Every structure is written in structure tokens, then in C-alpha cells.
Amino acid sequence: MPDWDSEKLVAAFESGDRRALSRLLSFVADRDPKVLPILDRLFPLTGEAWRIGLTGPPGAGKSTLVNRLVEDYRKEDKSVGVVAFDPTSPFTGGALLGDRVRMEMVSRDPQVFIRSLATRGHLGGLAVGVDEACDLMDAFGKQLVLIETVGVGQSELEVADSAETTVVVLVPQSGDSIQAMKAGLMEIADIFVLNKCDREDADRAHQELISILELKQDGEEWRPPLVRTIAETGEGVAELVRIIGEHRDYLANSGRLSERKKKRYAAKTRRLAEDELQIRLWTEERTQRRQAGFGRKVSPYELAKRIIDQFYQEIRNEQT
Amino acid sequence: MPDWDSEKLVAAFESGDRRALSRLLSFVADRDPKVLPILDRLFPLTGEAWRIGLTGPPGAGKSTLVNRLVEDYRKEDKSVGVVAFDPTSPFTGGALLGDRVRMEMVSRDPQVFIRSLATRGHLGGLAVGVDEACDLMDAFGKQLVLIETVGVGQSELEVADSAETTVVVLVPQSGDSIQAMKAGLMEIADIFVLNKCDREDADRAHQELISILELKQDGEEWRPPLVRTIAETGEGVAELVRIIGEHRDYLANSGRLSERKKKRYAAKTRRLAEDELQIRLWTEERTQRRQAGFGRKVSPYELAKRIIDQFYQEIRNEQT
């Protein structure tokens, strides 16, 4: 893509053209390296959006909750971006009909921008480019960016690195809160939501969660509150919006916000550098080399060493 | 460590000295690079052990099941290695008293070698060095190596890359099998275990799982069987051992085994090469640079680029 095209794209983006945002998001999803200088250029426009991660096990009702949150924020006339990477998300298919219809109404609102990203393989990692997608939505002027995880594997926890407020969504289900604790969700939660609170064991689950939360003595001033919701009907969602606002105020006033942003900055720089190295390392030729090694009486330990040596040699042979 | 020491260690290892195995496993756990040439040297001794991964959500009873499997294999006079990386594993603490006593009996058996590895941070990734630990146990002459995941995040799925037979352990719990499906466990399972089958909803859970398994039409000849167990009492464990044997025969006779080993070899080479690059890239200085970038009006995109450029320059400046 010649430079003038990139100029045009940035100009369109800056004038608020949704197609430009969409196109840049596609570059991000495709890991197209030409988006990097554009992201660098748009970076000064970021920092205004509040990024809210919603995570928790599959089936907790995250998608429905995200949808309700969007509706609530829209009532306050806030512009909202949604980054979903749940293949079963109503945004991307797989939802019940009612949900899908509601979702469609939300997504037809010009102040709402929804984008789903593919997750990395079947391993349930965080979607490629979620940070970049958030940056783009932020730079585009979205006041809120909601990130919905697939609720599996790394993604469940990694989302905390991308969000200012992490909401862990659980349901009244035997042992759910203990599993969440074991899974490390307790450590990343800024707010707990007990969704599907119309279920009969909601009170028991609520108590169970409260007892576990009391065990958490980490000396933090902010103690994650527990909000009960029924996303299906919208009950409790206004309360959740209020608590998210409180968390936002807490972070801003306590100095934790810049701490969090600093950490995120460092983690992102790390990931970007490693991505670049990986792409450069695994050329077609070296990928084939490692795939052809089996059975050739060379150990993976030795083969990895040889591949790295050759990689270094290649860099040394370059003109600088 | 001077070379003769490494020689001594390898000699002791080859003569069957458990302390030598233990020491090498510690090097692996510490990511000490001096173990790499030793692993390369011992590699020709590997390939005999059958590696069985046990995975599934926390609380499914994996540790107890592993313990029962060890007992059963010992009855057949097989030597067994266990690589556990569950912080709540009975092998490493956190178990009920009865479990721990049984575990201790198993671990006093000289034909059983148990090692637990720390997982990478709180993100629930696979333990550092699990492949290497398996290689060492394999080279040491263990006929079976059992790998027990922490049952969280990546580790739940990644274990399939290290094992010949992957056993997914579930319990009769509402929605458990659907969650497992969403989590990608269905794709990696060679065998399903429905543990804690003394629970009242075992039959219903069994049916649920069977219906989901029927949906799986991937054209594979091997259709993952479902084994019901009560690890607490040992019920069903002999059947599980039998089915693991069947899976082993299937892989060996169908040619899938070398396919699997080939894939594992390539994945391992990849990881080893990337580990080496990462260690080299993130020197103290460059780590500080990325941590100090925030607030300096340079975007992470630009900073990552500069760090990588400097890294390449460093390699170019080296004498070859």
C-alpha cells in the first residue's frame, strides 16, 4: 500500500469514518505489519477510553451482560466499542434468537462499534491484536471499550492486562467460585458479578463467594464488590455500571491508574517486540527445518541451537 | 560447572542414580541453560516411555486418579514417573490427609519418581520444562510418565502436545461437559474419564457427555471412549489402564504415533528456539527500557521497534 493511501486512511479515520476504523481493525486482525506505523501515529489520540474486560467461565452470560452494558451506556449517551473474541458470542453467531435480535439493534447504533477477533488457534489464548483493537477504538473516540473474553484458558486472565476494570462473571453453580479462585480469577477481579441470579441457588452461591472474598487479604484498599445481576432481564446492570464508575474513580484518585497503565505499556512493548522477532525467526525455510528434524538423529535441543545460530548469522550478514 | 562434573552427572544418571535425575530435573525447573547439552546427549535414550497427560478442570480429582494409576501400573511392575504441576496436588501439598498418606506410600517406592514443577506465573500456563522433565524420566528408563496439569488455562490444553495419550477428567456437574467442549478439551481428549461417579447425577452427566461426543464427527477412527471412575475408591481405574493400552495399540498400529511424535518434535524445537531468543532479548537493560517508556511520548509500537533494532545491532556487532 503506497503512502498516500495510508495518509488517506488516517485522514478518514480522524474524520470519524467508520469504514476506516473497520479497515484498520482488519489489518490488526490479519497481523498486517503495515498497520504498526499507523498505530504509532494514532497513539497520541489514545488514553481517553475506559477499557472494561469481562471474563469468567463459558456459559456465565458474558455476551448478554456486555449487550446490557452497551444499552445502559448508550442511555448516558456514551459512545461504546466492543471487542469480542468469543466464537460463541451473539456478536459472531451462536446465540439464542432473542439475544441476537437485541444485539443487532445495538450494533445498528452508529455510536456503537463492535468487532470480533479470532482467538489464537484452539488454545484459547487472548485474541491476536486485542490491545491494538482497543487502541484503535480509543483513538476513534470511543469513551468505553468493552472486551469480552471467550472465557477459556489464558484469555480469561490475560484480559486484565488490557483493561482498566476487570469484571469476573460467575453463575450460581456448585463450586464455581472455588474453581474461579483456583483458576486465578480472584486475583484479577476488580468487580465480581454473580449473574443468572434468578437461579434457586443464587443465595448460597452468593454466600460462598463472600466467604472466599473474605479470605483475600492483600492489603488493597479496593475490595472487589459483588454485584448480582440477571443479564437476561437487565436486573442489576445499572448497579454494575455504577460500581464500574466507582472503580474508575478509585483508580484515578489513588494513583493506581497510572501504575496500571505503565504496566500495560511495558507488557505491550514486550509483546510487540516478541511478535516481531517470531515473525522474523520463523521463515518458511526455518519452519520447514524444524518440521523435518524428526527422525534425523538430531535432538530438538541441538536443532533449536542450530536454527538460532543460523538466525543470528543471517542478521549479521545484513547490510546496516 | 566444569565439564567433568557434567560427565559425572551423566554417568551417575546412566547408572540409575535417582539423585542425578533429581539434580537434572532441578536444572530444568530453574531453566538453567547448562542442562541443554546434557538433554541433547541423553536424547537418544528417550522414546521408550509412554506419556499420559491428565487434564480437566480443577477439582475433577486428577491427583487422586494419578495416584491410583501409579498403583495399578506398579502392580504390573512397570516403572513410573510423575510430572505434576498442580500447586494443589497431593504431591506438593494441599491434599486431604488420606490422599497424602497414600501418595507418600507411592512416592517411597524406588520404581516411582515424582517431580512437581512450578507453573509459569499465575497465568496457568504449562509448567516450564515439562517436556524436558518427561525426556529425563524417559531417558532414565521410566516406562510410563504421567503428567498432571493444574487444570487451568493453557496447561489444560497444552498437555496434549507433551503426551501420547491425553485423558480428560470431568465430574458429574451441571454443564461440565458443555464447558469442556467450549474450552477445547473435546478436541484434545483421547479418553474421557467421568470421575466421582458415586455422585447422584452421574448417569445424567454420562448421558450428556455421550450426546456431545456423538456430535464429534472428525473422521478419526479412534473415538474417545468414556470411562467411569471413582478415584477415591479405585473403581474403574483398571478399566482406564486397559483403555490407555488400547489407545497405545491404536496409535502404534495406525501410524498415528510417529505423526504425533513428529509434531511434538517440531513444537519442542520451536519452543526451545523461542526461549533462547527471549532470554537473549530481555537483558536487564532492555527490560528496563520497556518499563521506563511509559509517559515519554513514545508509543509502544515505536519503542518495540527501537528495542528490536538495537537487539539486531548487538548481534551484528558480535565477533563470529
User: Is residue A220 assigned to a domain?
Assistant: yes
Three-state secondary-structure class, residue A84: strand
Phi and psi at residue B145, to the nearest 5°: -125, 120
Residue B171 lies in a domain: yes
Residues of B in contact with A59 (CB under 8 A): 175, 178-179, 182
Same domain, A228 and A92: yes
- Give the residue from chain B lying closest to A158, CA to CA: B123
Q: Would you say A111 and A142 are in contact if contact means Cβ atoms under 8 Å apart?
A: no
Q: Contact B290/A273, CB-based, under 8 Å?
A: yes
Q: Does A288 touch chain B (CB under 8 A)?
A: no
State whether residue A148 is helix, strand or coil: strand
Give yes or no: residues A230 and A136 share one domain: yes
Option in B153, B277, B295 nearest A277 (CB):
B277
Does any CB of chain A come closer than 8 Å to the CB of residue B45? no
Q: Which range among A87-101, B10-24, B228-242 shows the weakest confidence by mean pLDDT?
A: A87-101
B257 inside 8 A of chain A by CB? no
Of all residues in chain A, the one with the smallest CA distance to B86 is A182
Is B166 a residue whose pLDDT tops 50? yes
* Choice among A116-130, B136-150, B161-175 with the minimum mean pLDDT: A116-130
- Please indicate, yes or no, whether residues A306 and A199 belong to a single structural domain of this protein: no
* pLDDT > 60? residue A188: yes
In a domain, B139, yes or no: yes
**In which domain, by residue range, is B309 found?**
282-316
DSSP alpha helices (H): ranges in B126-255? Answer: 130-140, 153-162, 176-182, 185-188, 202-215, 237-254
Q: How confident is the model at residue A244 (pLDDT cuts 50, 70, 90)?
A: very high
Q: Are residues B78 and B205 in the same domain?
A: yes
What is the DSSP secondary-structure string of B54-99?
EE-STTS-HHHHHHHHHHHHHHTT--EEEEE--TTSTTTS-S-HHH
The Cα A226–Cα A202 span in angstroms is: 12
In chain B, residues 101-140 whose CB comes closer than 8 Å to chain A: 122-125
A228 and A302 in a single domain? The answer is no
User: Hey, are the CB atoms on A269 and B175 less than 8 Å from each other?
Assistant: no
User: Helical H runs in chain A?
Assistant: 3-14, 18-29, 35-42, 62-75, 97-108, 130-140, 153-162, 176-182, 185-188, 202-215, 237-254, 256-281, 284-292, 300-316
The number of angstroms, rounded, from the C-alpha of A27 to the middle of its chain's C-alpha atoms is 17
Q: Identify whether A36 is part of a domain.
A: yes
CB environment A236-252: b (16+ within 10 A), e (fewer): bbeebbebbeebbeebe
- What secondary structure does DSSP assign to B124-146, as a single string? TPPPTTHHHHHHHHHHHT-SEEE
ipTM of the predicted structure? Answer: 0.85
Is A259 a domain residue?
A: no
Which residues from B are below 8 Å from A124, CB to CB?
153-154, 157, 183-184
B-chain CB neighbours of A303 within 8 Å are 269
A296 and A167 part of one domain: no
Mean pLDDT of B165-190: 80
Question: Does the structure show a pLDDT above 90 at A234?
Answer: yes
Q: What are phi and psi of B260, to 5 degrees?
A: -60, -45
- The CATH number assigned to the domain holding A93 equals 3.40.50.300
Based on the fold, state whether residues A132 and A232 are members of the same structural domain. Answer: yes
Of A179, A183, A269, Cβ closest to residue B293: A269
Across the range A74-96, mean pLDDT stands at 68
Q: Does pLDDT of A122 surpass 60? A: no
* Tally of residues, chain B: 320
Whether A56 and A170 map to the same domain: the answer is yes
What's the one-letter identity of residue B204?
Answer: R
- Whether residues A158 and A16 share a domain: the answer is no
Structural domain includes residue B261: no
Whether residue A227 has pLDDT greater than 60:
yes
Render pLDDT for B89-121 as a digit per residue (tens, 0 to 9): 444 443 444 455 556 667 778 889 988 776 554
In Å, the largest CA–CA distance within chain A is: 70
In a domain, A265, yes or no: no
Q: Are residues A15 and A164 part of one domain?
A: no
| Domain total of chain A | 3
A260: in domain:
no
Quote the CA–CA distance of B19 and B111 in Å, as a whole number.
13
Within this chain, do residues B10 and B118 fall inside the same structural domain, yes or no?
no
Q: Are A68 and A227 within 8 A, CB to CB?
A: no
Q: Quick check: helix, strand or coil at residue A313?
A: helix
- Averaged pLDDT for residues A150-165: 78
> Within this chain, do residues A148 and A119 fall inside the same structural domain, yes or no?
yes
